[in-house]
Homo-oligomer: A and B are copies of this chain.
Amino acid sequence: MNSDTILLAHGGGGLLMRELVEGLIVPGLSNPALDRLDDSAIVKAKGNSLAMTTDSYVVSPLFFPGGDIGKLAVCGTINDLSVAGARPLYLTLSFIIEEGLPTDTLRKVLQSISETASEAGVQIVTGDTKVVDRGKADKLFINTSGVGEIIEGVDISAANAKPGSHVIVNGPMGDHGIAVISKREGIEFKTPVTSDVAALWGLIERVLDVCPEVQTMKDATRGGLAAVLNEVASSSRAGIVVREKDIPVRDAVRGACDLFGYDPLYVANEGKVVIICPAERSDAVLKAMCAHPLGREATIIGEVTNERIGRVLMETNIGGQRIVDMPYGEQLPRIC
Contact = CB atoms under 8 A, between A and B. Distances in A.
Interface of A: 1, 3-12, 17, 20-21, 24-25, 28-29, 31, 33-34, 40-41, 43, 45-46, 48, 50, 52-58, 60, 89-90, 92-104, 106-107, 110-111, 113-114, 117, 123-133, 135-138, 141, 143, 145, 147, 149, 330, 333-334, 336
Indicate how many identical chains form the complex: 2
Which 5 residue pairs spanning A and B have beta carbons closest together?
A11-B131, A145-B145, A54-B92, A41-B125, A28-B114
A146 to B, nearest CB: 9
A4 B124 CA distance: 25
Contacts of A12: 131
- Max chain B Cβ within 10 angstroms of own Cβ: one of A89, A102, A125: A125
A8 B11 CA distance: 28
B45 A143 contact: no
B96 A34 contact: no
Given A6-B106, A102-B5, A103-B24, A96 B33 contact: no
Contact of A25 (B3, B53, B127, B334): B127
A210 B89 CA distance: 34
Given A52-B125, A55-B128, A43 B90 contact: yes
A330 B53 CA distance: 32
A90 B149 CA distance: 15
A128 to B, nearest CB: 5
Contacts of A141: 56, 96, 137, 141
A107 B8 contact: no
A103 B4 contact: yes
Given A4-B102, A29-B114, A147-B147, A89 B45 contact: yes
Given A123-B34, A135-B135, A99 B8 contact: yes
Nearest to A97: B6
A309 B292 CA distance: 55
28 contacts: A3-B103, A5-B100, A5-B102, A6-B98, A7-B99, A7-B131, A8-B131, A8-B133, A11-B129, A11-B132, A17-B129, A21-B129, A24-B106, A28-B110, A28-B113, A33-B123, A34-B124, A43-B89, A45-B50, A46-B149, A48-B48, A54-B92, A56-B94, A56-B95, A58-B136, A130-B334, A141-B141, A143-B145
